[in-house]
Amino acid sequence: MFSTNAISDMAIDLAGSSHLDYSPTVQVIAIPCSSGINPTWITHAVEAGFDGVFVAADGGECAYIPDCTARTGRLVEQAQSLLTKSGSDARRVKMGALCSVCSDAFVNHMKQFGRELEELRATAAAA
């Protein structure tokens, strides 16, 4: 999971401070802004063995760029098409907006994404 130093990483900190429960398999790399993610980092994470990559964008809160969400959306799409080309399921990458105090939203995203990845695994195993 990629978070942003100033905004979404604060929400993840807050989730911990509030002892909200989520899977310990969730591991976070914090970066300055989600618009600065190189799509190849995402594909690298999937190839390296992560089940999924979640990009926690800032929504409207980004202090750097007003259209940060649109830019992040484009690079996530790029990563998805790279994954599709290499035979992976594009749904293993997901993007969501987390404000600096959105700790509940973060935990819900993790639970939901965890379930989706579980289903993907089950379908892949059955096929």
Partner 1 sequence: MTEEPPRRIGVMICQCGGNISDYVDTEKVRAEVAKQGDVVATRVEMFACSDSAQESMVQMIREKKLDGVVVCSCSPKLHLSTFRAMTQRGGLNPYEYTQVNIREQCSWAHTHDKPAATEKALRLVRAGVAKTALSTPLERMRVETIPQVLVIGAGIAGLRAALALSDLGISVHLIEKAPEPGGHVARWGRVFPNDKDGRGLIDTLVREVRARENIVLYLGTELTEMSGRIGSFRVKVRTPTAETISLNVGSIVVATGFETYAPKPGELGFGLEGVVTLPELKELLATNPSRLEYHGKAVRSIAYVYCVGSREEGSETNLRTYCSRYCCSATSHIATVITGMDPGIRQFHLFRDIRTYGKYEAIYERALRGGSVFLRFGEEAPPSVTSENGQLVVKVKDRLMAGEEVELRPDLVVLVTGMVPREDGEVARVLKIPIGKDGFFHEIHVKLRPVETVVDGVFIAGAAQGPKNLAESVTSSMAAVSKAAALLLKGYVDLDPMVAEVNPDLCAWCDACTLACPYGAVEKVDHGGTAVARINGILCKGEGACVPVCPKQAVSVKGYTNDQVRSMIDALVQEVA
What is the binding site for partner 1 (CB under 8 A)? 5-6, 9-10, 12-17, 19-22, 24-25, 27-33, 35-41, 44-45, 48-50, 61, 63-66, 71, 74-75, 78, 99-101
Q: Quote the least distance from Cβ 11 to partner 1, whole Å.
A: 11
Q: Quote the least distance from Cβ 90 to partner 1, whole Å.
A: 17
CA dist., res. 92 & res. 81, Å (int): 11
Q: Quote the least distance from Cβ 30 to partner 1, whole Å.
A: 8
Cβ-based nearer residue to partner 1, 36 or 127: 36
Cβ-based nearer residue to partner 1, 37 or 96: 37
Cβ-based nearer residue to partner 1, 96 or 102: 102
Instruction: Give me the sheet containing 2-4, strands edge to edge.
Output: 29-31, 2-4, 53-57, 93-97
Q: Quote the least distance from Cβ 80 to partner 1, whole Å.
A: 13
